[in-house]
Structure 1
Amino acid sequence: MAEEVKLFRTWSSPFALRIVWALKIKGVEYETIFEDLSNKSPSLLQYNPTHKKVPVLVHNGRPIAESYVILEYIDETWKETPLLPEDPYERAMARFWAKFGDDKVFTSIICGVLIKEGKEQEEAMVEAMENLQFLEEELRGKKFFGGERIGFVDLALGWLANLISILEDVAGLKLVGEDKFPLLSAWMKDFADSPLIKDNWQPRDKMITKFQALRDAKLAAAASK
C-alpha cells in the first residue's frame, strides 16, 4: 500500500519550510495543504487540536506537530540521507543548536530588532549580534553546521539564509556582513544555493510586504501605549 504523506503549512512559515526541505532531501512524495491561519480548516483543528497551528505532518492518517518533532520523525522513518548524526553527543549538540536558533537567534531578531526602534532596537541589536557570533564560532572548520552536507541544524537555522536580507531591508540595517560574520555569510550562501533548498523559498516581495506590515503594526501599537 502506498504511503500517504500530507503537510499542512502556510506559504510564509519558516518552521514549515524546514519540513519541506527535509522531505525533499529524503525524496519523500507528499501533498501540501496550505492553511489560512485566520480561518483554520477543520482538518488542521482535528490534527493539531492542542496548538492549532502549522506545520503538521500527517503520515498514513497519523498527525505529528511541532517542526523539530516532525524533523526527527522524518529522520527516523525514512533513514536514507540522515539528518542527525549517529554519535549521541553530536545528536545532543545538534538539538541544542537547533533550540538555540529558535529560543535566542529568532527571538532576538524577530521579536527584538525587527519590531523595535531607537534605543530599544540598539539594545536588541547587541543581543542579536552576540547570538549570531555563537553561530559563527560553531561553523569554524565546517561548510555546513552538519559538516560537509546539510543536516538537522542547517534545516533548523535555514530561515536565516533568506529572512536575514528581508529583515535587513525592512528594518533598514545590516545584521550579517562578510566582514563581521564571514563563516555565517558563506554558510547562508551555500545553503540558499543548494538545489533542493533554493527551489522552495517563499516569494521575496510577499515576504517583505508581510514583515513590513508586522513591523508597522508593532511600532504603531507601541506608540499608542
Structure 2
Amino acid sequence: MADEVVLLDLWVSPFGQRCRIALAEKGVEYEYSEQSLADKSDLLLRSNPVHKKVPVLLHAGRPVCESLVILEYIDETWPPEPEKKKESPRLLPSDPYARARARFWADYVDKKLFDCQTRLWKLRAGDAAHEQAKRDMAEALGTLEAELGEGDYFGGEAFGYLDVVLVPFVAWFHAYERLAGFAVAEICPRLVAWGERCKGRDSVAKTLTDPEKVYEFALYLKAKFGAK
C-alpha cells in the first residue's frame, strides 16, 4: 500500500493521457481507474473536492490533482536512477531557464490551445464566434510550431516535459480539421511531423486515442452543448 499508485482518468482526456505517458516513461506501475463524466464516483469527488474532475493521481492513498502538477510530482517522485537514465528520463530540464520556458509553454497549451479546442465544439458552425475560434486555433498551432522550430522535440533532441504535455492533443488534430475545415499538416507540417515522431515511442503509441473516436466524442460534446 505504501507505494500503491492509482490514476483516476477518462479514456479520451488529453490531460489524463499526459499523466499516463509520464508514468510509462518512468516505468511506474499503476492501477487505471476509468471515471464517468455523467456519474462521478465518490472516490473522485473525495479525491478532488475542489474541481471534481480527472485526472487525479493517488499515491499511497494521497491525491495529487491537476495534470501539470501531477507531471511534476511524477518527475520528482520517480527520478532517474544513474544506471537507468535512458529508461527513466527526467522530464523537466535541469536548467532553471529551460524549466521556466517549458512551464510557460505548458500553460499556453492548457489556456490557449484548449480554449480554442473547446470553442470549436461549443460554438455553432458558421457563427462569427466559431469563425474566430477557427482562426485562433490555426494561430495557436502555428505559435507552437514556431516554438518547436527545427528541433526533434520541444526540449531539443530529447523527449521531455512539454512533449508530454502537448502530444495527447495530436489525437485531436483530426477533429480540429473536421470542425474547423483546415488541414493541420498544411499550416503546421513540422508540428505534425513532431507528433508522428512522438508516436514512435511506446509510451505515446499505447496511450493516444484513435482520432476517429476522438472526433466522435467531439460530436457528442457539440450535441450536448447544442452546437450541432
**1:115 paired residue number:** 123
Check the 8 A contact 2:8/2:34 in 1, yes or no: yes
Work out the CA distance in 1 between the residues paired with 2:194 and 2:183: 15
2:2/2:60 contact within 8 Å kept: no
1:6 to partner: Cα distance: 0.6
67-76 vs 111-120, which deviates more? 111-120
- Which of 201, 218, 223 is matched with 1:216 structurally? 223
Conserved? CA contact 1:9–1:35, under 8 Å? yes
The 1-side partners of 2:44 and 2:58 are apart by: 10
The TM-score with structure 2 as length reference comes to 0.88
- Structure 1 unpaired stretches of 5+: none
Q: SS of the counterpart of 1:32? A: strand
Query: What count of residue pairs does the alignment treat as equivalent?
Result: 219
The correspondence of residues 159-198 of structure 1 with structure 2, limited to 5 A, is 159-169=168-178, 171=179, 173-177=181-185, 179-198=186-205
C-alpha distance in structure 2 between counterparts of 1:77 and 1:103, whole Å: 26
Residue 150 of structure 1, CA deviation = 1.6
Q: Per the alignment, in what secondary structure is the counterpart of residue 225 of structure 2?
A: helix
TM-score (norm 1): 0.89
Q: Which amino acid in 2 is paired with 1:106?
A: F
Q: Distance in 2 between matches of 1:164 and 1:56?
A: 25
Q: Deviations over 1:165-218 (max 9, x none)?
A: 13323x2612412x4322112112112232221112224443222111212343
> Residue 19 of structure 1: CA displacement?
0.5
The answer to whether 1:146 aligns with 2:155 is yes
Deviates more, 1:75-84 or 1:45-54: 45-54
Q: RCO (CA 8 Å, sep 6+): is it higher in 1 or 2?
A: 2
CA contact (8 A) 1:161 1:191 kept: no
- Which consecutive aligned stretches of 4+ in structure 1 deviate over 4 angstroms post-superposition? none
The reply to whether residue 102 of structure 1 matches residue 110 of structure 2 is yes
Structure 1 counterpart of 2:99:
91
Tell me how large the CA RMSD over aligned residues is. Answer: 2.0
Residue identity (%): 41
Distance apart, 1:220 and its partner CA: 4.2
